Structure 1
Amino acid sequence: MAAPDPVTPGAPFEPSQPPVIEGFSPSICSTPESFKEKFLQKTRENPMIAAQGFTVAGILLGLAASAMKSPS
């Protein structure tokens, strides 16, 4: 039984160029999004992000309040 031929790429890999992916055409954003814009967009797409944030904030506030309470 003969060994399979080694696979050779069609073009050499060029690290300074983006990879060519068949069926994908990248779009370059003309204006980069700020953190606030990106956060609001992600929150609108998935409201559970905000719900989890409120839960974590509530836990932290509860821990802070119990730590500041003087022992009797």
Structure 2
Amino acid sequence: MSQGVPPPFDPSRPPIIEGFVPYVRAREEGVKEKFLRKTQENPIVPIGCLGTAGVLTYGLICFKRGNTQQSQIMMRARILAQGFTLVALLVGVAATAFKKRK
């Protein structure tokens, strides 16, 4: 081959790009590891989810027992718990976005 012509593309090897260093992943993150990492980053969201599930469950139990007044109160409390969880999620996303900027 002459000196001015680059070698043909070899699909078995990655292309060589001047100034580029490929990123090597340490290892794939599993579901459990990702859940634990996300819980540590924003622990309020899982607390809100558990609270929502607890209020919903208690409200359904009250409904099944015929205590409709308590069931209505629990369904309203569920809405508040969902709102709390949503706000916690949004605050966590905003905090992560601002942390990456710095």
Q: TM-score scaled by structure 2?
A: 0.37
- Structure with greater helix share of residues: 2
Question: Higher relative CO (CA 8 A, sep ≥ 6), structure 1 or 2?
Answer: 2
